[in-house]
């Protein structure tokens, strides 16, 4: 299996998932589906997140598991944070309450707004 591409190779626009197929019975479901933020992570980043959760977010345990230094673990964590669309060390969307941010994400999920509109609203916050 290949990872889900997020960007059109021609115009670099955002790609939408519109078709799901069952591997067992070939049932096909068509519509507009959100992949979720974790689908943007590489396999290596997903493995890191899984280990991070398994180690309860304790960097010292991550150092022991991966045999890496504290700065390297922090660097990898920051790469995951950026891949999810956040900036390490900063509050979530500037000026927005958690409720306002959640409302924007719900509107995006329900199709009331586009991802571009959501990003603009979150950035302007």
Q: What is the pLDDT of residues 37-62, one digit of tens each?
A: 888 888 899 999 999 999 999 989 99
- The predicted structure's pLDDT at residue 90: 64
pLDDT given for residue 94 in this prediction: 54
For the range 49-52, what are the long-range contacts, defined as Cβ-Cβ under 8 Å and sequence gap of 24 or more? Answer: 49/80, 52/77
Instruction: List, for the chain, all residue ranges whose pLDDT scores fall below the cut of 50.
Output: 93
pTM of the predicted protein model: 0.56
Q: Which are the contacts of 46, defined by CB distance < 8 A and separation ≥ 6?
A: 38
Confidence at residue 48, expressed as pLDDT on a 0 to 100 scale: 96
Q: What is the pLDDT of residue 93?
A: 45
């Amino acid at each position: 299996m290949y990872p889900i591409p997020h960007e059109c190779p021609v115009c670099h626009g955002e790609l939408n998932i519109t078709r799901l197929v069952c591997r067992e019975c070939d049932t096909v479901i068509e519509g507009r589906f959100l992949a979720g933020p974790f689908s943007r992570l590489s396999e290596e980043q997903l493995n890191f997140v899984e280990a991070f959760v398994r180690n309860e977010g304790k960097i010292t345990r991550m150092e022991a598991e991966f045999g890496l230094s504290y700065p390297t673990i922090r660097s990898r964590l920051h790469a995951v944070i950026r891949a999810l669309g956040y900036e390490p060390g900063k509050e979530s969307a500037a000026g927005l309450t958690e409720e306002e941010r959640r409302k924007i994400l719900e509107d995006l999920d329900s199709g009331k707004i586009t991802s571009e509109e959501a990003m603009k609203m979150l950035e302007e916050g």
